[in-house]
């Protein structure tokens, strides 16, 4: 089985199935096609499937042309029919791993995906999980379901964990050039996983086990969450001391060793950084460990939208205006600049807090034309275009996400009050409040 699959990978005759056509799965499958592999893209969302079949992209930073080019090769098929899994030599799972309402791991997407694949598993297939999760998931949740088909891991079927490392909107890091960590259930699994990803990624980083690979991804994201939490806390201290935290960070960053700059903001967003640390804190309890440092960083970052709203209230108060009935324009819904992803965005949390205080809200985001229907948030709003004239109508403009599309000079010039949460106006003080 091993040599047959290895030969198919090296010859690029292997058919690759990618489950989940989102921010991770879509660029991954496009990279396989670009490298000469035939593919199946699986998703339960028929809207995504139809858009791809029409050559359309639903992710802002992935151009329509790239979808159309992949379709033109005849090597891209998209489907919601799990039966097509039996036509694949490798199946890569890229589905969400959110938290439930109690901040506990929700593996329902992973478990349901594997259950759906199970009837179509066959000897000689390679399975890879890329979804961020706690150490042990691959062996505890994925492996038993493969073995339930009578397949022996390392002999009849092969299993790896290889964490995604997508950075949406960052054109500097393409899928091909970001090193890929791979951990296998056995040495043979690792060999095959490295062979597969080695066909599309420039550098492969092998680790000793799937658990080590799972932990690697958590370390990457916890490192960022903790350091962002640190600088967010320092921001509140510097603000009270009337010190410019941006100036301090820039000065510290001149040190050529022992310091990496992280920058403050209104909170954390996206599917990874606000969520992944809790996967480890939850699993650590099984071993009797309380991850106090990680949880404290989470508390600091979660509290930032409240801190920003308090600064908005204080700034309006200085102009003899209450938050209630003040017209406030939020610039940017996405959790980071130049993308359309609003998952866990602090902008939305700030809007909820301001609405609760009676503010009259509007927003502008060139990447999010309409406020989407969300389970926990509902705003009947669409993105508004702003000009020098209508900016004057607002009591306060909040730079929540610093998209490059915004005309920051015009915003400052024509706004009565600007709340800058992203450091766009580092040296400006007239009508600008830094927070």
Residue 126 CA to residue 339 CA, distance in Å, equals 33
Residue of 94, 119, 124 lying closest to 14 (CA atoms): 124
pLDDT at residue 29 greater than cutoff 90: yes
- Which pLDDT score, from 0 to 100, does residue 64 have? 94
How far apart, in whole angstroms, are the C-alpha atoms of residue 396 and residue 316? 8
CB 394 within 8 A of CB 327: yes
pLDDT for residue 21: 96
- Phi and psi for 83 in degrees, rounded to 5? -60, -25
> What is the average pLDDT across 259-278?
89
Least confident of 163-172, 216-225, 300-309: 163-172
> What tens digit of pLDDT does each residue of 60-85 get?
889 999 999 999 999 999 999 999 99
Residue 194 has pLDDT above 80, yes or no: yes
From residue 135, alpha-carbon distances to 146, 211, 369 in Å are 18, 5, 38
**Residue 61 Cα distances to 13, 223, 433, angstroms:** 30, 26, 31
Q: Which two tokens stand for residue 114?
A: 């594997």
Average pLDDT for 291-300: 92
Query: Are 123 and 156 within 8 A, CB to CB?
Result: yes
The Cα angle at residue 283 between residues 282 and 284, in degrees rounded to 5:
90
Task: Using the predicted structure, report yes or no on whether residue 431 has a pLDDT greater than 80.
Answer: yes
Whether residue 428 is predicted with pLDDT greater than 80 in this model: the reply is: no
CA 309 – CA 379 distance, rounded (Å): 18
Percent of the chain predicted with pLDDT > 70: 100
Q: Is the pLDDT of residue 223 over 90?
A: yes
pLDDT tens-place string over residues 347-396: 999 999 999 999 999 999 999 999 998 878 999 999 999 888 899 999 99
Q: Alpha-carbon distance 270 to 255, whole Å?
A: 30
Task: Tell me the mean pLDDT in the region 255-268.
Answer: 95
Tally of helices (H runs) and strands (E runs) in the chain: 15, 13
Q: CB–CB of 386/342 below 8 Å?
A: no
Determine how many CB atoms are found less than 10 A away from the CB of residue 349: 20
**Which domains occur in the chain, in start order?**
2-208 (3.40.50.720), 232-434 (3.40.50.720)
Mean pLDDT of 151-165: 97
Q: In the numeric block, which tokens belong to residue 312?
A: 């908005």
- Burial label, 318 (beta-carbon count in 10 A; 0-12, 13-18, 19+): exposed
β partners of residue 418: 397, 432
Q: Tell me the CA distances in angstroms from 227 to 14, 166, 224, 263, 264, one per residue in order.
A: 42, 20, 5, 9, 10
> In which band, very low, low, confident or very high, does the pLDDT at 5 lie, cut at 50, 70 and 90?
very high
CA–CA gap between residue 64 and residue 269 (Å, rounded) = 26
Q: Which long-range contacts (CB under 8 A, 24 or more apart) does 78-81 make?
A: 78/21, 78/40, 78/41, 78/42, 78/43, 78/48, 78/49, 78/52, 78/53, 79/40, 79/41, 79/42, 79/49, 80/42, 80/43, 80/44, 80/45, 80/46, 80/49
To the nearest 5 percent, what fractions of the chain are helix, strand and coil? 40, 15, 45
Distance CA 243, CA 229 (A): 18
* Per-residue model confidence (pLDDT) at position 360: 98
The strand pair at 204-207 and 158-161 is best described as: unpaired
Question: Could you read off the pLDDT of 386-425 as tens digits, one per residue?
Answer: 888 899 999 999 999 999 999 999 999 999 999 999 999 9
Q: Using CA of residue 79, residue 85, residue 88, residue 92, what is the dihedral sign? A: positive
What is the rounded average pLDDT for all residues in the chain? 95
Alpha helices for 11-107 (secondary structure H): 25-34, 46-53, 64-72
99 falls in which pLDDT band (50, 70, 90)?
confident
Once rounded to an integer, what is the mean pLDDT over residues 145-156? 96
pLDDT in tens, 104-118: 899 999 999 999 999
Contact 88, 40 (CB under 8 A): yes
Active centre residues (catalytic): 272
């Amino acid at each position: 089985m091993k040599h047959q699959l290895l030969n198919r990978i090296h010859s690029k005759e292997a058919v690759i199935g990618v489950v989940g056509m989102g921010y991770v799965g879509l660029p991954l499958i496009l990279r396989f096609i670009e490298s000469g592999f035939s593919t199946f893209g699986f998703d339960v969302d028929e809207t995504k499937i139809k858009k791809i079949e029409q050559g359309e992209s639903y992710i802002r930073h992935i151009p329509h042309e790239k979808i159309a080019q992949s379709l033109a090769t005849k090597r891209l098929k998209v489907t919601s029919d799990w039966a097509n899994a039996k036509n694949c030599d490798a199946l890569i799972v890229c589905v969400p791993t959110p938290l439930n309402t109690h901040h506990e791991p929700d593996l329902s997407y992973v478990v349901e995906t594997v259950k759906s694949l199970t009837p179509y598993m066959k000897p000689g297939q390679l399975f890879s999980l890329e979804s961020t999760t706690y150490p042990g998931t691959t062996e505890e949740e994925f492996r038993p379901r493969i073995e339930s088909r009578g397949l022996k891991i390392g002999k009849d079927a092969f299993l790896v964990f290889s964490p995604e490392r997508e950075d949406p909107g960052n054109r500097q890091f393409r899928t091909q050039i970001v090193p890929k960590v791979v951990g296998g259930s056995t040495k043979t699994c690792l060999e095959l996983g490295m062979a597969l990803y080695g066909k599309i990624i420039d550098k492969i980083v092998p680790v000793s086990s799937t658990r080590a690979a799972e932990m690697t991804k958590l370390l990457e994201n916890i490192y960022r969450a903790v350091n962002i939490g640190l600088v967010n806390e320092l921001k509140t201290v510097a603000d009270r001391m009337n010190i410019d935290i941006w100036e301090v960070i820039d000065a510290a960053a001149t040190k050529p060793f022992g310091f990496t700059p992280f920058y403050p903001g209104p909170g954390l967003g996206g599917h990874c950084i606000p969520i992944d640390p809790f996967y480890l804190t939850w699993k650590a309890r099984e071993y009797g460990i309380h991850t106090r440092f990680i949880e404290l960083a989470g508390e600091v970052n979660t509290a930032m939208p409240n801190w920003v709203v308090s600064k908005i209230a204080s700034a309006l108060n200085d102009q003899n205006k209450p938050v209630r009935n003040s017209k406030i324009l939020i610039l940017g819904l996405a959790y980071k600049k130049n993308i359309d992803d609003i998952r866990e965005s602090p902008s939305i949390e700030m809007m909820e807090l301001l609405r609760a205080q009676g503010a009259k809200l509007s927003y502008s985001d060139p990447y999010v034309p309409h406020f989407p229907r969300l389970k926990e948030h509902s705003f009947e709003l669409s993105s508004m275009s702003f000009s020098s004239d209508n900016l004057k109508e607002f009591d306060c403009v909040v730079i929540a996400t610093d998209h490059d599309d915004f005309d920051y000079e015009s915003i400052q010039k024509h706004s009565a009050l600007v709340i800058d949460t992203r450091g766009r106006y580092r040296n400006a003080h007239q009508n600008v409040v830094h927070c």
